[in-house]
Chain A
Amino acid sequence: MATPLTLRQRFSLARFLRGLGAEAGPILLDRRRVYILPTRHGLLFGAVIIAILLGAINYDNGLAFALAFLLASLGIVSILHTWRNLLGLRVEAGRCAAVFAGEQARFPLGLRNDSAEPRPAIILAPDGGEETVHDLAPGLSWVEVVRPATQRGRLPLGRFHVATRFPLSLFRAWTPLELAMDCLVYPAPAPQRGLPAGEAGASGSGGDKGQGQDDFASLRPYHAGDSLRHVHWKTAAREQGIHTKLFTGETAQELWLAWDLLPGLDTETRLSRLCRWVLEADAAGITYGLRLPTRVIPPDFGPGQRRRCLEALALFGDKP
């Protein structure tokens, strides 16, 4: 929740222009956050009113006076409507699904309209991105800010504006926001296909029988990330806890995807190649481990392993 601002923060021009810096959601757009200024159309509208007023004065024309005053009043009242359309909105961060570099990162934002009336034409304008317009019914609406993910790593949502020009487009109410929210960007998979030749199961401790998918060997308690295909549903149905079936097989092999296998390439290319290997190994259902200069992920398989490995690749070089 928003904390009260100090006096200095409250009157700082930087706050006006750039917002408060990254905050955890949800954020209530209250009076101190909502700014409002005329748009270009609003300024033109003002000029039109002045022109009509001058004509009215000069021709002493009662109805022209009435028109000028009516338009001016409409403009003034529309300030309140525009302001109210934004005021009281709550913005919260959703969970952002990881993407590969080169794809579009989609940041889900929850816009909660606690009022009884819909809020039409609420604009989401990410800095440097395309703005989108949404009608918010009462309740929570999920909208997405889409930004291109160009580099692996953590892509912050960055600063964006929640704004509205409704109803007359003469004024624009806005709040600059920066939510503490980012999207994990995996390296772009390299185009080259094909897995490296396996360092046969000899590696690692000799006692490891290795795991495969052909022959059932034993049960072990379910770990997050184990494939659902291998869950032993019978024990689950007997309410004896969820177990994962372990298999051994002749094809059982343990593949190490190692940084050292790609000598002479630059860091990003190596990460790209590793990323492709991880995807292929995962698709083939192989048990694989990842060995990076800074980190080693022991062999495993399934969606959990895939995620762990890709995350390690995405964040390679970051400080933990």
Chain B
Amino acid sequence: MTLPRHGRLWLLAALTAALLPQLLRLPPWFIPYCVALLGWRLAIDLRDWPLPPRWLRVLLTLVGIGGVLAGYRTLFGADAGLALLTVMLGLKLLELRSLRDAMVVIFMGYFVVAGGFLVDQSIYVGVYLLVNVLLLTAALIALSHPAGPQHPFYLRRAGLLLLQALPITVLLFVLFPRLSEPLWGVPKTSSSASTGISDHMTLNNISELVDSEEVAFRVRFDGPVPPASQLYWRGPVLWVTDGRRWDPVSRDLPPRWQMLPGRYDSLDDPVRYALTLEAHNAHWIFPLDLPASVPNGMALTADFQLLSKRKVIARQRYELASHTRYVTGPLADEMYRLGLRLPTAANPRTRALAAQWAHLPAQAIVDSAINHFRDQPFWYSRRPPPLGDHPVDDFLFTTRRGFCEHYAAAFVTLMRAAGVPARVVTGYQGGEVNPVSDYLIVRQSDAHAWAEVWLDSDGWVRVDPTAAIPPHRVEATTDAQRFRSTDAATLNIDLDWAQRALAELRYRWDAVNDAWNQWILGYNHQRQKELLEQLGLLRFGWQGVIALLAGAIAAVLGAVTIYLLLRMRGRHDALVRIYQRYCDKLARIGLRRAPHEGPRDFARRVAAQRPDLADSSDEIITLYIDLRYGKGDAATSLPLLRAAVSRFHPGVRRASD
């Protein structure tokens, strides 16, 4: 069977739409390549160009495969595989002959759409998925309809099919049992550039995170949101410094002590929350200080970093619990030594300052340093001046402007120089509550660094030197607020209504995104189990769920069938029903139509037996015969007939009779 031209054009349109987002992602040389292939196809369909000769197709194939190899150094893996699929799809278009070819192309198109989900699963992609399926379905319809182009009809029918398919899709999505483990090892996916906290910090570098409004993670607390002063989200802990750069204990070769989970005594009930972490291509989970339990697939280090065993390469949802008041256990010797180590040559003035405090008790040393930041003219600035060879010295005694990293590094340097074990902790601080849906949004701009010192009485204690800077010395008001409140309204109190409306809109959009993450992307085995348990559907086990799924789908299909049958029921059926009603009314007074009796004969018999009914009966029969066998117009005559039959009361004898 040859392919109708309108079918080929729909196919081309649908495929172009499916390929579009991929093209933007692939190496740039793909764009002219694919545009050329699609363009040729269009010329074949519109201008009757010939299919390209075989040698040219082989050449184009080699060019495509070579291009993929050059770009990715492999033909396997998600990225290269997707690129290869795109090339094959374009080439297949150039040898489109039979319906089978067209089907193969459409099915490859579905794979391309699905492949794109490995890279991006945002709401936009979800909506675009519907557009893609709509177009591909319309293409299937056009290809199945050789009689000729009826473009709006294809789109309408595709929309109808999609609309009827959606309830079943939702049922399958919610009830189809999800597995807790992948079927086989998940290969490493693209190292898509994702922003997030880095595993080290270097003074002098302006952190690009400070200005980023990207969401780092969202948190939904089981109870009330803890006060802002407790919202420290723990990430990498930095121990090792050369005076300028701070690094964690090597993750590749961690010392033995680091492998032992840190221990502490909790002083309060745990805070429970669900944390939905955006992909950041690293292992940290950012629990609230300090994590109370270690979920499966994670490990806790001695310095209380919660690490996922796999890199977080896709958005993930974690159920976590934390204690905000705690006393940590004893200090290992190695940790003690590492917590005091400083490079001997760097930052001499800082060490001289700390030496003055060395005779004081540890708590007093901490207070002295904090007072120093508060009393001296230190400013909080997102754009601090550059620092020289002894960065901490320069910061403490010359520039006195910096952000959290400067304060944390300077403070820890002072502590170590004064003989108090200390370390830098990085992560996030605070977050803003989305008033629309009551969860906390933590953005990249909430990235923070603070310090922990070891006090004999309390163990490791968090000290945030940045928070010591009085608000009037903070350059941006939002920075001044962040340690004091998570209430969005206080941030916007002096903004005009337009900005407030914009902020409101932003919260609503973020709430939609959050719901999308929770229910579409994060809907996994765990979530499904929770939901089904809440709904009481797991009472009969998974077999019960499957039976329910089958029953619900059957119900939807039944409804669709009834709809389709009613919609297709034509004027013939309506006519027959009305005529039947007329016959039924007569049957009730004993005038039964014989099976062989035609309408005219029957009417004649009725008129003979009941002259009073002759007129009304004749009107009905005339209309009926005209509609059934003549040229009666259903739009006008059918309502007339229906009304006439409704008025027809053979049981009532007229007074004139």
Instruction: List A residues at the B interface (Cβ < 8 Å).
Output: 40-41, 44-45, 48, 51-52, 54-74, 76-78, 80-81, 84, 88, 113-117, 120-121, 133-135, 138, 165-170
Contacts and interface: CB of A to CB of B under 8 A. Distances in A.
Contact of A61 (B113, B118, B172): B118
A73 B110 contact: no
A76 B162 CA distance: 11
Interface string B109-120: 011011001100
A73 B165 contact: yes
A259 B442 CA distance: 106
B173 interface: yes
A74 B561 contact: no
B176 A41 contact: no
Contacts, number: 169
A121 B145 contact: yes
Interface of B: 99-100, 103-104, 107, 110-111, 113-114, 117-118, 121, 125-126, 129, 133, 137, 140-141, 143-148, 157, 161-162, 164-169, 172-173, 176, 178-179, 182-184, 186, 189, 314, 520-524, 553, 557, 560-561, 564-565, 567-573
A138 B575 CA distance: 14
B110 A67 contact: yes
Contact of B568 (A41, A60, A70, A115): A115
Most chain B CB within a 10 A radius of its CB, from A41, A52, A61: A41
Given A41-B100, A74-B161, A116 B569 contact: yes
Given A55-B114, A63-B520, A81-B161, 19 more contacts: A41-B99, A41-B100, A41-B103, A45-B107, A52-B114, A57-B179, A59-B182, A60-B182, A61-B121, A63-B129, A69-B173, A70-B169, A77-B164, A77-B165, A80-B564, A120-B147, A135-B145, A167-B141, A167-B145
A58 B141 contact: no
Contacts of B117: 61, 63-64, 67
A55 B111 CA distance: 10
Contacts of B314: 59-61
A64 B114 contact: yes
A135 B143 contact: no
B143 to A, nearest CB: 7
A30 B236 CA distance: 71
Contacts of B113: 67
Most chain B CB within a 10 A radius of its CB, from A61, A74, A78, A121: A74
Nearest to B574: A116
A134 B522 contact: no
19 contacts: A52-B111, A57-B178, A59-B118, A61-B121, A66-B126, A69-B172, A70-B133, A70-B169, A72-B172, A74-B137, A76-B557, A77-B557, A80-B560, A84-B561, A115-B570, A115-B573, A116-B570, A167-B144, A167-B157
Contacts of A60: 182, 314, 524
B173 A54 contact: no
B545 to A, nearest CB: 15
A128 B173 CA distance: 45
Contacts of A166: 141, 144-145
Contacts of A72: 168-169, 172
Contact of A168 (B110, B141, B522, B565): B141
Q: Is the interface of A mostly helix, strand, loop or mixed?
A: helix
Contact of B140 (A56, A115, A121, A168): A168
A84 B113 CA distance: 30
Contacts of A64: 114, 117
A117 B126 contact: no
A168 B568 contact: no
Contacts of B162: 70, 74
Given A71-B110, A84-B565, A165-B144, A66 B169 contact: yes
A44 to B, nearest CB: 6
Contacts of A167: 140-141, 144-145, 157, 161
B133 A67 contact: yes
Contacts of A55: 114
Contacts of A114: 570, 572-573
B126 to A, nearest CB: 6
Contact of A62 (B523, B561, B568): B523
B622 to A, nearest CB: 21
A44 B110 CA distance: 12
B355 to A, nearest CB: 55
Nearest to B165: A73
Given A48-B107, A73-B168, A81-B161, A57 B183 contact: yes
B424 to A, nearest CB: 34
A76 B521 CA distance: 25
A62 B103 contact: no
A58 B189 CA distance: 12
Nearest to B78: A59
A115 B133 CA distance: 29
Contact of B146 (A44, A45, A76, A133): A133
Nearest to A135: B147
Q: Which 10 A-B pairs have the closest CB atoms?
A: A73-B165, A73-B168, A116-B570, A69-B172, A114-B572, A115-B570, A115-B568, A62-B521, A63-B117, A169-B144
Contacts of B126: 63, 66
Contact of A63 (B121, B143, B553): B121
A116 B172 contact: no
A165 B140 CA distance: 11
A75 B84 CA distance: 27
A63 B164 contact: no
Contacts of B184: 58
Nearest to B170: A69
Contact of B564 (A54, A67, A76, A81): A81
B527 to A, nearest CB: 10
